[in-house]
Structure 1
Amino acid sequence: MSTVFVINSGSSSIKYQLINPALEGADAVVASGLVDQIGLEKGKYSIKHDGEKIEHTAAIPDHSIGLQLVVDLFAEVGLNLDEQDVVAVGHRVVQGGNLFREPVEIDDTVMDQIESLSPLAPLHNPAHVLGMKVARKLLPSVPHVAVFDTAFFADLPAASAIFPIPQDIADTYAVRRYGAHGTSHQYVSQQVPKLLDLDPSNLRQIIMHLGNGASVSAVMNGKPIDTSMGLTPLGGLVMGSRCGDIDPSVVLHLMRQGGYTVDEMDHMLNRESGVKALIGTSDMRTLDDLMAVHDPKGQLCWDVYVTRLKHYLGAYMAELGGVDVIAFTAGIGENSPEMRESCLEGLEELGIQIDPVVNNHKFKEPCVISTPESKVTAIVVPTNEELAISRMALAFAK
């Protein structure tokens, strides 16, 4: 059994999975876990294997110690990492800029290039590079592969990718629509034609990746033609703590009239906005609780969230010239029947009919939630970015 070790290194965390890319869904995961609160006085590290979870607390001063603790966890559950036939390590990277349009084997030059893109993803790319440096020392005998969130959208049509600002400035500072969650959008859009036995070369899809971070894409014949996130993951839909699309002059107005600095605006729009700004927390479960008791503040937040979803749904239906499949994925997309229903409610005239009984579930497996009479197929497809990363990394195995 050849396996791929998948790493998502954040500024204070390391998410990891050991995957058998030959299998599907949950069966592919040999073990998974999280190292959290790196650099704090007390951190946590855990592993899930064979239906059981082990978790410990300890000081985790840096990523090097964190990954060594992961190795120790594998040994603790009887999975010596050296004996798991790891043939590649896949690293999730948020921002590939204009430099990376597909996965690439990591060397020192590639790491330097990924780090050079940090102004486009200051919270993510430096942490990714740190994880790569540590992991390459820990597992030096196998290829390490960078898989980029932006790669799926690298060849967007110019009409979607270009922002109408002076193009010499855009070129100098690499300003364009990069998108995000591309690995998820790619995985789901490739799963849909297999699940529905449809020809991917003649299929119009809208992919709704709804989680704490959220994005939507329009996919024509297997290729994305538009996506909601822009230069950074801040644009597009309303998210847990991100505002999504706003009038750019809001930023200028608050800086001029309120005296806010660039860093303060960045923090406000990325960390204190979206759902959190409207109900006080970014946890969508709290929004569900507020809706259950008919709280006016919760209702307003829900309406704002759904209105933005419908805005993009309608826009992408127009761009595609119609739609054949609408796919919901990620934490909210897979687990909130109420959000799916609200998103598609009232669209019967557009050929979209949802089955409320079938829809009223949380889904671990793909499921069509539209009625047989619906001209548009609505489907829930659980995403699996780690499996997708493992398969891309596997292609580089020696």
Structure 2
Amino acid sequence: MTGTRVLVLNSGSSSVKYQLLDMETETRLAVGLVERIGEGASRLAHTPLSTGGGQRVQRTPVADHEAALKAVAEELAADGLGLDSPRLAAIGHRVVHGGLRFTEPALIDEEVIAEIERLVPVAPLHNPANLTGIRTARALRPTLPQVAVFDTAFHASMPEYAARYAIDARIADEHRIRRYGFHGTSHAYVARRAARLLDRDPAGLNLIVLHLGNGASASAVRGGRCVDTSMGLTPLEGLVMGTRSGDIDPAVVFHLGRVAGMSMDEVDTLLNRHSGLAGLCGDNDMREIRRRIDAGDAAAQLAFNVYTHRLRKYVGAYHAVLGRVDAVVFTAGVGENSPPVREAAVAGLDAFGLAVDPELNTRDSAEPRLVSPAGARVAVAVVPTDEELEIAQQTHALVAR
């Protein structure tokens, strides 16, 4: 393999995010986003980092993902970074659900595509869009190696007793019902980067990783391997999120059907799109919620309290799962940028050796850092995530074998 560049594609139902990286130096050459695909107000924003040029924005209709990727290819070519370059080694695709089969990145062929398609029933919002991106990219560069990197893969190391739901085993097996976990590329990257920050061998570390964005998940990581995580069959389970409820009594679904006359689709929409912080107070942006709290808004304060109460519960639970914790690590938009969330998430856990230093916790920085007091028994760290770099690293490592 002579190429050192990897194009990372994250295809959503109406968007394509992309980054082109040079893996020799692990630097970004270009980043961009095509959004509102299939709508009249489509937008492509492309930034050529390698040339130092500013962002270029197109506001022309983009009919489908094929048109979107062709537009991306044209933008890259305009900067001398075209998909036909011999320096492009591979394209890495984010795929949300890999089921039980894909516990590592996979070189894409027809068999891999067929298995991703078979998983659509357990990831109906994500895998179809991921497949569209894969098929379109393969049509553009049929001979270029393309790799699927799965959100669920990092969590495949969970022991069976952590992955199983306590329902009829035959039904569970027939319909692939179990806990898979998500945000795996983020948890994997952050766990490894946290070990570097602590100057420790990952094999000897026990970590609790809190990925807190609009979607949120926690993981218990022992020796670099996930042993439990908060999301389950779908990304709905676990922590309170921006618009998702997180853990909820399943009988709520039956109650809403019987008493409120809601259909299954309506309940699905309620729990995924109109719950969480947005459901509690009307906002899913933590910055706006904190502004409202400072102004004395009771609904915002309650939403914040529900959110951080659930966080503390998971930190305590994963402390019990791991037996010993070396660090609690915050990442993603809220985890990296909200000192009040970090403070509240460990408040009252002094007996576990957890606390934040007020000055360190509120200090602005884009670098991995400790926010716990000097000499703390358990480190509290902030490690910015980089899922695109993780996908590029896994892709490059696979095609370089």
Provide the TM-score with structure 2 as the length reference.
0.95
- 1:44 equivalent in alignment to 2:43: yes
Is the contact made by 2:239 and 2:310 (CA closer than 8 Å) also made in structure 1?
yes
Is the contact made by 2:197 and 2:369 (CA closer than 8 Å) also made in structure 1?
no
Q: What is the alpha-carbon distance in structure 2 between the residues aligned to residue 54 and residue 273 of structure 1?
A: 36
Q: How does 1:189-200 map to 2 (within 5 A)?
A: 189-200=191-202
Match of 2:138 in 1: 136
Q: What is the alpha-carbon distance in structure 2 between the residues aligned to residue 232 and residue 246 of structure 1?
A: 13
1:285 deviates by: 2.5
Higher mean C-alpha deviation, range 76-85 or range 121-130: 76-85
Q: How does 1:220-369 map to 2 (within 5 A)?
A: 220-369=222-371
The residue type equivalent to 1:197 in the other structure is D
Q: What is the alpha-carbon distance in structure 2 between the residues aligned to residue 46 and residue 191 of structure 1?
A: 29
Match of 1:87 in 2: 89
Q: C-alpha deviations, 1:269-315, integer Å up to 9, x for none?
A: 11111011012132223212212212101100000000000010000
1:102 deviates by: 0.9
SS at match of 1:396: helix
1:84 deviates by: 6.8
Match of 1:113 in 2: 115
Q: What is the alpha-carbon distance in structure 1 between the residues aligned to residue 122 and residue 365 of structure 2?
A: 34
Is the contact made by 1:142 and 1:397 (CA closer than 8 Å) also made in structure 2?
no
Q: What is the alpha-carbon distance in structure 1 between the residues aligned to residue 274 and residue 205 of structure 2?
A: 38
Match of 1:382 in 2: 384
Q: What is the alpha-carbon distance in structure 2 between the residues aligned to residue 346 and residue 162 of structure 1?
A: 31
1:200 deviates by: 1.8
The residue type equivalent to 1:30 in the other structure is L
- Which of 186, 189, 193 is 2:188 aligned to? 186
Higher mean C-alpha deviation, range 195-204 or range 113-122: 195-204
Query: 4+ residue runs of structure 1 moved beyond 6 angstroms?
Result: none
Q: What is the alpha-carbon distance in structure 1 between the residues aligned to residue 128 and residue 210 of structure 2?
A: 28
Higher mean C-alpha deviation, range 199-208 or range 46-55: 46-55
Is the contact made by 2:195 and 2:201 (CA closer than 8 Å) also made in structure 1?
yes
Is the contact made by 1:335 and 1:363 (CA closer than 8 Å) also made in structure 2?
no
SS at match of 2:92: strand
Q: What is the alpha-carbon distance in structure 1 between the residues aligned to residue 152 and residue 340 of structure 2?
A: 30
C-alpha spacing 1:104/1:120, structure 2 compared with 1 (3 Å):
same
The residue type equivalent to 1:395 in the other structure is A
- Structure 2 residue runs without a partner (length 5+): none
The residue type equivalent to 1:121 in the other structure is A
Question: CA RMSD for the aligned pairs?
Answer: 1.4
Q: C-alpha deviations, 1:68-124, integer Å up to 9, x for none?
A: 111122234453343371101100000011121111111122111101101111010
Higher mean C-alpha deviation, range 308-317 or range 354-363: 354-363
Is the contact made by 1:354 and 1:374 (CA closer than 8 Å) also made in structure 2?
no
Q: What is the alpha-carbon distance in structure 2 between the residues aligned to residue 112 and residue 198 of structure 1?
A: 41
The residue type equivalent to 2:57 in the other structure is E
Q: What is the alpha-carbon distance in structure 2 between the residues aligned to residue 379 and residue 14 of structure 1?
A: 31
Q: What is the alpha-carbon distance in structure 1 between the residues aligned to residue 270 and residue 292 of structure 2?
A: 24
Q: What is the alpha-carbon distance in structure 2 between the residues aligned to residue 6 and residue 361 of structure 1?
A: 32
Match of 1:65 in 2: 67
Match of 1:100 in 2: 102
Q: C-alpha deviations, 1:314-356, integer Å up to 9, x for none?
A: 0001111131111111111111111111112222222122111
Match of 2:77 in 1: 75
- Which of 371, 389, 392 is 2:373 aligned to? 371
C-alpha spacing 1:207/1:22, structure 2 compared with 1 (3 Å):
farther
SS at match of 1:395: helix
Q: What is the alpha-carbon distance in structure 2 between the residues aligned to residue 313 and residue 218 of structure 1?
A: 9
Q: What is the alpha-carbon distance in structure 2 between the residues aligned to residue 320 and residue 85 of structure 1?
A: 44
Q: What is the alpha-carbon distance in structure 2 between the residues aligned to residue 147 and residue 72 of structure 1?
A: 25
SS at match of 2:55: strand
The residue type equivalent to 2:46 in the other structure is I
C-alpha spacing 1:111/1:362, structure 2 compared with 1 (3 Å):
farther
Q: What is the alpha-carbon distance in structure 2 between the residues aligned to residue 94 and residue 80 of structure 1?
A: 27
Q: C-alpha deviations, 1:122-169, integer Å up to 9, x for none?
A: 010000000001001112232100000001111211111000001001
